[in-house]
Amino acid sequence: MPPKKSMLRPKGAASKKASIPPDINSTRGVQSWKEAAAWLRARGIEDIECITPDLAGVPRGKMMPTSKFTSNTSLALPSALYRHTISGEYPEESGQFRYDSRDSDIKLMPDLSTLSVVPWETDPTAQVICDIITTDGDDVPYTPRNVLKNVLKLYEAKGWKPVVAPEIEFYLVAVNEDPDYPLHPPKGRSGRSILGGQGYSIAGINEFDELIDDIYHFSEKQGLEIDTLIHEEGPAQLEINLRHGNPIELADQVFLFKRTIREAALKHGIYATFMAKPMQAQPGSAMHIHQSVIDLETGKNIFSNPDGSASKEFFSFIGGMQKYVPSALVMMAPYVNSYRRLTPDMSAPVNNAWGYDNRTTAFRVPVSDAAARRVENRLPGSDCNPYLALAASLACGYLGIIRGIEPTAASEGTANEGSVDLPRGLLEAVSLMEAEPALAEVLSQEFIGLYAGVKRGEFETFMQVISPWEREFLLLNV
């Protein structure tokens, strides 16, 4: 039998050769535990947060003194952490959803390449993103970071490397202490609440100058790079675009950006929300994903032929998205609220069509040169877990390539008219995921069973709440 993996050394973080000095000046990430100790010592770090995304993408983990972190400490969590709903409840066992009968420990394995400071803390604090392994040192396949890594391994086995670039939309809202009351836009520096219709408005961004400065400042301190920032169509709705790169690194960035933006907003006495549809009659918030695939040997984009034309892999990737994304949509639209964004006559697509520079389609091909040819998936909401949304989107494209799936003809006009091609609610989306065997092949049956059980549990919790619509129209009329 091969030796078990060390509990103390992150995967992919082997020590540098002795001739290369440790880079303690790096804003983000080190190569070894020796460098980590020097990095923490140089900054006077007192505490470190070992965090990992749960199924919802919420940071979970442990906080400890730096001395304990660097002293071969074993960091354990209960396996039930990945079986509770967004409201903290534990669903009944059903279908293939089961609990570990012993609720055994799982381990946090720090990825030292993600080590960075926590800039909003008053005491010197650092953070590190962790993978999840068993007590025997094996990967836990159903955890979000590992789900994405396993999809990337499928590409690697074919000699490919996906490249992604997420775009994250979010709203700034006034403090809302009572969830029974609707959300409202906050007041900007003018002293007035922001109105809608501010798409790409510089004045709209300037209303929150000091907050945006803090977002940039916090991001720089963590080694996170923002490409562009714009004001979207909704009132106080902003969008941050990230530079393209490795899917794991970009998922990590989205994971940290959400936390960063919330903290910056709280510093200014307002909320930042990534709900897909936080306000009635206003646009929803998306996390669009730009995707391309690079040949590992040549470094070339496999979506383009040598003469610059679109390759068969490009069309098959789109075909796979069209065929399988409706079944994987629950990983991109994970809550009841998510489907309020995906409705007809709104700005979000409700189809599985594709087209060239066509924002009414689910899968848009932006104008670009051959080297940058890519497919933009416009379906995911900003409420998604970035690791799972990227895993699902890339898995569907991968299936299309290896199975040679032909896409439909490109949509020339508006694609959002007519029938809805996607599941219209959470339960329908869960059922479609469970019924598609190809997804089990690339994402694992264990993950699908666990994820479906949690989503059904969240739906049952939602059904216990009586909405204002029901009181308005049913109270005295039925």
pLDDT at 204 over 90: no
| Percentage of the residues of the chain whose pLDDT score is greater than 70 | 94
When pLDDT is cut at 50, 70 and 90, the band that residue 445 belongs to is very high
When pLDDT is cut at 50, 70 and 90, the band that residue 5 belongs to is very low
Contact present, 90 and 84 (Cβ < 8 Å):
yes
When pLDDT is cut at 50, 70 and 90, the band that residue 180 belongs to is confident
Could you give the residue ranges of the DSSP H alpha helices within 278-354? 312-328, 338-341
Q: Position 108: which residue type?
A: L
In the predicted model, what is the mean pLDDT of the chain? 91
Contact present, 57 and 385 (Cβ < 8 Å):
yes
DSSP state letter for 154: H
- 108, 133, 255 from 60: Cα distances, Å: 10, 15, 12
Q: How high is the pLDDT of residue 114?
A: 97
Q: How high is the pLDDT of residue 346?
A: 66
User: Which region among 6-20, 233-247, 440-454 has the lowest average model confidence (pLDDT)?
Assistant: 6-20
pLDDT at 170 over 90: yes
Structure token pair of residue 160: 């490919």
Structure confidence by residue, pLDDT tens digits, 188-203: 888 888 776 676 678 7
Give residues with Cβ within 8 angstroms of 252, minimum separation 6. 114, 129
pLDDT at 165 over 60: yes
Structure confidence by residue, pLDDT tens digits, 48-107: 999 999 999 999 999 999 999 988 778 889 999 999 999 999 888 888 888 887 778 999
Calculate helix-pair angle for 426-435, 312-328, nearest 10 degrees: 120
Q: How high is the pLDDT of residue 14?
A: 40
Contact present, 354 and 365 (Cβ < 8 Å):
yes
Q: What residues form DSSP beta bridges with 375?
A: 291
Q: How high is the pLDDT of residue 260?
A: 97
- ∠ CA 355-361-367, rounded to 5°: 45
Q: How high is the pLDDT of residue 18?
A: 39
- pLDDT, greater one: 457 or 70: 457
